[in-house]
Amino acid sequence: MKELIDDARAKGESLGGEFVVIAEGLVPGLGSYASGPARLTSRLGAAAFSIPAIKGVEFGLGFEAARRRAVSCMIPSTTTERVALPGLATTPAASKAA
């Protein structure tokens, strides 16, 4: 790899590449589910795209999802009940019930 970099530098060229960022231990609900700009994926994507050479960002299946049928990308639900999460009320009536 060092030889490739040195060779490209000598020719005034650049090389492409990939990097992976893994975040572990994130708490459920981090970010927003409703506001696009406040979603964690939006904020991380914006940070990655602030690097001038970045051309693509993947989350989860990422670009692989574009090659699959939708049904193979869905996360199966483990319950049929609606679950209310504290602090995530979306209507005045839901706020009073919480």
Q: Cα(12)–Cα(6) distance, rounded to whole angstroms?
A: 10
Pick the more confident residue, 53 or 10: 10
* Residues, the chain: 98
pTM for this entry: 0.50
For residues 73-97, average pLDDT: 55
Residue in the block written with tokens 């001038």: 52
Pick the more confident residue, 51 or 9: 9
What's the confidence (pLDDT) of residue 53? 81
Contact 13, 23 (CB under 8 A): no
Q: Which residues contact 81 (CB under 8 A, 6 or more apart)?
A: none
pLDDT at 10 over 90: yes
Give residue 9's Cα distance to chain centre.
33
What does the pLDDT look like over 16-75, one tens digit per residue?
888 888 888 888 778 887 888 888 888 888 988 898 888 888 888 888 888 888 877 776
Q: Which residues contact 42 (CB under 8 A, 6 or more apart)?
A: 31, 36
